[in-house]
Chains A and B, each alone.
Chain A
Amino acid sequence: MKIACILAGVLWLAAPLASHAEPTERQLKLLQNNCLQCHVREHLGAPVMGRLEDWSTRNRKGEEALLRNVVQGLRGMPPLGYCAACDEADLRVLVRLVAGLPERK
């Protein structure tokens, strides 16, 4: 099941990036070091990357609400998602990647 979750996350990342977000190599490393430790693992309570049903309700709140939760932390979600190196632009890209949100035009 763990492999299935990781695979879903990888496929999620491999989907046409233009419709989601275009991360830099640096941002992908930040994703790997921080976000993936929780968002590709089941049974933690964290929404799993690539599992649409985990995100549909959350994503309806919009990117700003998701970003606020990331920065401030929410329940098990640590403030800034553990990413102290992230600036706001980094966090926006990572939020879009993890949540599968389309890039804002």
Chain B
Amino acid sequence: MMDTSRRHFLGMAAAGTAAALLPGCAPHGTEPQTPVAYEAGKPLPWINWAGTQHCIPKTRLGPASEAELAEALRTARGTVRAVGSSHSFSGLVPTDDTLIATDLLSGLVSHDTATLQAELWAGTRLHDVGPLLASIGQALPNMPDMDYPALGGAIATSVHATGPRYGSLSSHVTGLTLATPGGELIECSATRHPEIFSAARTSLGALGIVTRIRLQNEASFQLTEVNRIERTEDVLAELDERMTRHRHFEFLPLTNSDLCVTVATDPAKADDKDAGQDDPQAINDLRKLFDAVSWMPGARAVYDRLLKIALGDAASTVRTGPSHQVFPHVRVVRFREMEYMVPAEAGPACLREILQTIRERNIPVCFPLEYRQVAGDDIWLSMFQGRPSACIAVHQFGDVDYKRYFAEIEPIFWKHAGRPHWGKLHTLDAARLSALYPKHWQDFQEIRRTLDPQGRMLNAHLKTMFGV
């Protein structure tokens, strides 16, 4: 996000201020990083990446073949849930009964050089998808900004990247194989079991477990990403133009500041060269600076001023290379996230309201927001169903209480008809969610009841969301 000189300045500023003003560094109502402790000899807990979810399943399975997985589903006891890389923030995974991990179902199944399609096992991690596809001359048209999730989990929750001409990962799926709760394997596509296909492309893992996924790819390509520090209002003033001009564009507004980090990504030119360094720890320096001044009267203004001094005339950071190396960024700082998709035209107003609310209510947060744009699709429970969307995310550090902050912001998303990301934190139940998906909510529920009449795939979170 920032080059090393910027990081160095931030670090120095934070250290210098903090040394004199340590009381300002007090944490804001921390909660434990680990929701459940490991005890030797006791059943192993499952914990998600953010530490927001956990469970202690009676049975933990890692089938090594599709047939083994189907049999495991058929004979599983109690509530069955699937898990990939455990990257969802929301409660999609926890079960105290049977947890089936797809880790061992990974790799390339087949590919077609003429159509540029490839079939992969659903447990394949996104960080392996890129090199696997590169080896056959293909590439995902678009990728999220981190590559830790498993492909199956990414599809189940409509994981997305940015670019108004590109849909979510689910929209690039041309076929899949679903292992039903009854242990049947169903191959589906737009022409084979099309209704199951429409439901299974974003299923929340409620229909069974997807084992294979066929993707429509592009020929391998090179990208160059340029990061800049700019004024948020300047970016909003020409947002449509930037979204049109660049292959991919997003920006990360810095809370309690007028600044943002812009990320523009385009096909690489022959003379593009890396400049600066992607720094996964930079977010910690923002935090040090924010904490160091937070005790002061008018702390937000001081923070904003320091950021402008530190970042105002900073040079760009440039990353260039194969697309699967440029799209993702390293994430080593754990955080909690809430993201809503609002109609694209509502995005700027929604963002301004969030930034204004943070300032007016004096919310102590320095973790940047994220603003992306994604094309609409026709997938029943996709957050992008029927409408191009602006995706706005709020985050908080993993050891800080996020609930009060998110509770202040979530109603703003509701006001703008936002749909929550299925894999991220939200508080909506069936009544609110069904109203956000008027066209296909019931269609999905009917397919779900047909495939899983006993509701074996439903954990507490899914029951709340589906009103079961």
Contact = CB atoms under 8 A, between A and B. Distances in A.
Interface in B23-58: 33-34, 36-38, 40, 44-49, 51
Main secondary structure of the interface of A (DSSP, over half): helix
B422 interface: no
Contacts of A68: 38
Nearest to A91: B44
Interface in A21-80: 26, 29-30, 33-34, 37, 44-46, 64, 67-68, 71-73, 75-76, 78-80
Contacts of A45: 280-281, 332
A29 B104 contact: yes
A9 to B, nearest CB: 16
Nearest to B280: A44
A41 B49 CA distance: 19
Given A73-B34, A79-B86, A80-B47, A44 B332 contact: yes
Interface residues of A, number: 28
Contacts of B128: 33
B45 A71 contact: yes
B156 to A, nearest CB: 14
B456 interface: no
Main secondary structure of the interface of B (DSSP, over half): loop
A84 interface: yes
A99 to B, nearest CB: 17
Nearest to B331: A76
B84 A84 contact: yes
Contacts of B49: 73, 78-79, 82
Contact of B332 (A26, A33, A75, A82): A75
Contacts of B48: 79
Given A79-B48, A87-B60, A33 B103 contact: yes
A26 B64 CA distance: 8
B104 A30 contact: yes
Given A73-B33, A76-B332, A79-B34, A88 B125 contact: no
Contacts of A8: none
Residue of A37, A78, A91 most packed against chain B (CB within 10 A) = A78
B44 A29 contact: no
Given A72-B38, A87-B60, 12 more contacts: A29-B104, A33-B128, A34-B85, A37-B127, A64-B40, A68-B38, A71-B45, A72-B34, A72-B36, A78-B86, A80-B46, A83-B101
17 contacts: A29-B103, A29-B106, A33-B128, A67-B38, A68-B38, A71-B47, A72-B38, A72-B47, A75-B332, A76-B333, A76-B334, A78-B334, A82-B85, A82-B125, A82-B148, A84-B101, A85-B62
Q: Which 6 A-B pairs have the closest CB atoms?
A: A85-B62, A76-B332, A79-B47, A85-B101, A85-B103, A71-B38
